[in-house]
Amino acid sequence: MATIKFYNSKEQVPLEMHKVRVVQKLYLLPVEERQKRMEEAGNNTFLLQNKDVYLDMLTDSGVNAMSDQQVASQLIADDSYAGSESCNRLMKAIDEVFGTKYFLPAHQGRAAENILAEALVKPGMVTMMNFHFTTTKAHITRLGGEVIELVTEKGLEPQNDEPFKGNFDLKRLREEIETYGKDKVAFVRIEAGTNLIGGQPISMENMLEVAKICKEYGIVSVLDASLLQDNVYFIKTRDPKYKDVDAREIYRQLGDACDIVYWSARKLGFSRGGAIVTNNEELYLKMKGLVPLYEGFLTYGGMEVRSMESFAVGLLESLDMEYINQGPIFIEYLVNELDKAGVPVIKPAGGLGAHLNAGEILPHIPHGQYPAGALGAALYIAGGIRGMERGTLSEQRNPDGSERYAELELLRLAVPRRVFTLSQIKYCIDRVKWLYDNRELVGGLDFYDEPEVLRFFFGRLRPIGDWQEKLVKKFRADFGDSL
């Protein structure tokens, strides 16, 4: 990976290693219209219409820009229901990257999680992981399982110098296995990197040690590789032992070490679809029959063939460090500039995007009034920017109906790869800074329509008080006739 420095060091900024060839027009509504759209969406950024969003920083899942080679590959797609050459090309790419013998397709990552949970989780079992993801936990708990989180204490600190905040507490992992007994452990899931605590990476050493412990106890090790390309970047740039190790070798070592690897191609591969891969025939056969039942035939698994072609190309491109680095370097710039402006953010910068520490930005809003959700609503009003709540709103209620308060109240500003220009990133920084300077105006939210499952996707909330009207009024006072 090349290091490119500017002659004028004061102008050092991320440098795109691509050029834009297709564009999409964006719209920025007036602030009064943004408030109305937020009200219509029930103060849930998931329910906003994309036409009303200027910078869509909700997620990097399925919204990354494909390469010209990915787009071109779709023209040779084989539409056969069974025995498709598109599937064969995808299997070849997966073998080249992970070196795995068996492949099961799925239409996306959470569909792969469903297959894994159905095959391995029984009532009363536990699943151990460095940290949970929303849909992963939902699939496990609906089958009567329990999730145990084993991330190190540093992983839950908003800011420190720990380069791999997603690491497992290995001592606790052994203790929990001993406590429950191996027969009660459905599997151990390694998330590389940890989505809900700031996209923080896990070290190569830690991942390999977790896999080793699982083999020692006869427990299935599962790697969620959805964010692996960012994690590979951090391994190569933060661990001197891996600086000169080829990315291909890192992928292969993990494919060899873990019993199962699965991921969303909406993230790893910059396409659509999902995959479960393994070298273990017994595990493959245990999951194989579930794919036609839930997804589709074994040569497409719910994916349409054009996506399979672009998936194959994108997966191979994820071996290229100039391809891998575009997300992390832009995210690091965004995080560092916000930090310089005094805005509380999760540090060090991780993958996925910048994570605003809503708990620290809005300390006057209690957990039960969803500070991260309120910050997300406020930021859309302030700048037409759509982020994603990653706090208490994203949690499930406890069985008795009480809230499970999140360890961190975060608003994630995802940075889809090769999508935004630097001026748009700077606009985001400006509007976040303005909102931070006016944070005392922001109030809480409460539900008026709360689904029982995955409420953060389609629940609706109302502002507590008239804080949104006050925010609009202050915006007009500061910005005049500007949008």
Residues that are catalytic:
81, 133-134, 224, 267, 390, 456
Other C-beta atoms closer than 10 Å to the C-beta of 392 total 25
- Compute CA 211 distance to the chain's CA centroid, rounded to the nearest angstrom: 22
Burial group, residue 399, by CB count within 10 angstroms (0-12, 13-18, 19+): exposed
Helical H runs in 156-301? Answer: 170-180, 204-217, 228-238, 247-257, 281-288, 290-294
Amino acid letter at 267? K
Could you tell me which residues are beta bridge partners of residue 345? 356
Q: What's the number of CA atoms in the CB half-sphere (13 Å) around residue 195?
A: 24
Nearest to 351 by CA among 475, 268, 437: 268
What's the sign of the alpha-carbon dihedral 175, 178, 180, 183? positive
Asked if 293 contacts 104 with a C-beta cutoff of 8 angstroms, the reply is no
Nearest to 405 by CA among 449, 443, 371: 371
d(CA 151, CA 164): 10
410-414 β-sheet, strand order = 353-357, 410-414, 388-390
* Non-local CB neighbours of 262 within 8 Å, separated by 6+ positions: 106, 109, 112, 113, 116, 222, 223, 224, 225, 274, 275, 276, 277
Q: Pairing between strand 388-390 and 410-414?
A: antiparallel
d(CA 56, CA 24): 12
* Non-local CB neighbours of 207 within 8 Å, separated by 6+ positions: 190, 192, 223, 254, 257, 258
Q: What is the three-state SS of 366-410? A: CHHHCHHHHHHHHHHHHHCEECEEECHHHCCCCCCCCCCCCCCCE
Give whole-number Cα distances, 373 to 131, 137, 387, in Å.
Answer: 21, 20, 9
Tokens 């719209």 locate to 27
